[in-house]
């Protein structure tokens, strides 16, 4: 029977609380994200994330044999959702046609779809401040 080495991971939320002097909440949030000093962080062991698979090898030790592609169903849920988000965004961005919608329904749908596309594009490109 073959041997498989499986690497599992979980996310441990660590946080810090700092006070920033800034002209707005958005500016304070940007300062907090730019601050790289984590010497006074705290870890929240009570809210550890799910365990998911981050690597697999057909060998008795990690990195010593062939890497095996792990099925997506074993990936972190948030990553699977993000991947699906991208796929759904791509579908939504395809040329929208009123297929089966009345003109009025389509006219009501299109602005919302375009706004959702703008927000999704901002999220995917990690543009802070452009996502409401």
Question: 24-36 pLDDT, tens per residue?
Answer: 999 999 999 999 9
Contacts of 5 (CB under 8 A, 6+ apart): 56, 57, 59, 60, 61, 62, 64, 65
Contact 73, 16 (CB under 8 A): no
Would you kindly state where each structural domain of the chain is located, as residue ranges? 1-75, 76-132
Q: What is the DSSP letter of 92?
A: H
The pTM of the whole model exceeds 0.95 = no
Question: 105-119 pLDDT, tens per residue?
Answer: 778 888 888 888 888
């Amino acid at each position: 029977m073959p041997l498989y080495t499986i690497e599992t991971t979980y996310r441990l939320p660590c946080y810090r609380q700092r006070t920033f002097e800034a002209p707005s909440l958005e500016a304070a949030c940007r300062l907090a994200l730019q601050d790289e000093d984590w010497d006074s962080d705290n870890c929240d062991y009570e809210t550890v994330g799910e365990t998911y698979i981050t690597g697999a090898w057909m060998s008795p030790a990690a990195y010593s044999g062939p890497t095996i592609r792990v099925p997506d169903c074993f990936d972190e849920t948030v990553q699977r959702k993000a991947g699906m988000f991208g796929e759904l965004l791509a579908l939504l961005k395809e040329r929208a046609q009123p297929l089966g919608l009345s003109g009025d329904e389509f006219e009501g749908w299109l602005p919302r779809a375009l706004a959702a596309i703008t927000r999704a594009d901002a999220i995917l490109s990690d543009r802070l401040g452009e996502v409401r």
